[in-house]
Amino acid sequence: MSAPPLPATPAAPEPQPQPAPTLDALLAYNREVARALYPSRPLLSVILVFQDAQMNLLVPEAGGTSHSPDFKSVNWFGSAYTFTPTQAAIVGALWAAWESGSPDVGGEYLLAVAGSNSKKLADLFKGHPAMAPGGMISHVGRAVYRLAEPAE
């Protein structure tokens, strides 16, 4: 007499591909690890090294502001921005005015500081998120700009 056949083992479910982590998730993970390892030191950037390239990412901290020495990378109250050299010179001048307590700066002055031949500041930032509504640069009057702090 033979033993009854064993019931078929259900097939293991096919592994589902995991979505690639977003840049925000990558930065959040690195921030968490850095805080655990070095609680008194803020994480300023993450460097990704690829076979043929390197990327330095500014790590935004909610509620704070920071910038690279040349203003090409800026964290403005939790939003990270990158700028061209000309844009960075303008952001640096706006930042200095903001820190001095006299935040409004004329567009002609900003263009001169940046060494730009452009007629309008808006042309240099066309399509840039820093100049979009809610961005870090606000047009407050005829050819007058300032860094825009988030609404309290």
CATH at residue 102: 1.10.10
Give pLDDT, residue 90.
Answer: 96
Q: What distance, in Å, lies between the first and last C-alpha atoms of the chain?
A: 83
Question: Where in the sequence is the domain holding 117, given as residue range(s)?
Answer: 61-152
Q: What is the pLDDT of residues 86-128, one digit of tens each?
A: 999 999 999 999 988 999 999 999 999 999 999 999 899 999 9
Within a domain: 93: yes
- Regarding whether 93 and 44 lie in a shared domain, the answer is no
- Regarding whether 102 and 44 lie in a shared domain, the answer is no
Last residue of a domain, one of 10, 29, 59: 59
Q: Domain total for the chain?
A: 2
Task: Give the mean pLDDT of the chain.
Answer: 81
Within a domain: 27: yes
Q: What is the side-by-side strand order in the sheet with 105-106?
A: 105-106, 144-147, 137-141
| Token pair for 18 | 């995991």
Per-residue pLDDT, averaged over 28-49, amounts to 70
Q: Kindly report the pTM of this predicted structure.
A: 0.61
Give pLDDT, residue 33.
Answer: 78
Within a domain: 100: yes
Give pLDDT, residue 143.
Answer: 92
Q: How confident is the model at residue 32 (pLDDT cuts 50, 70, 90)?
A: confident
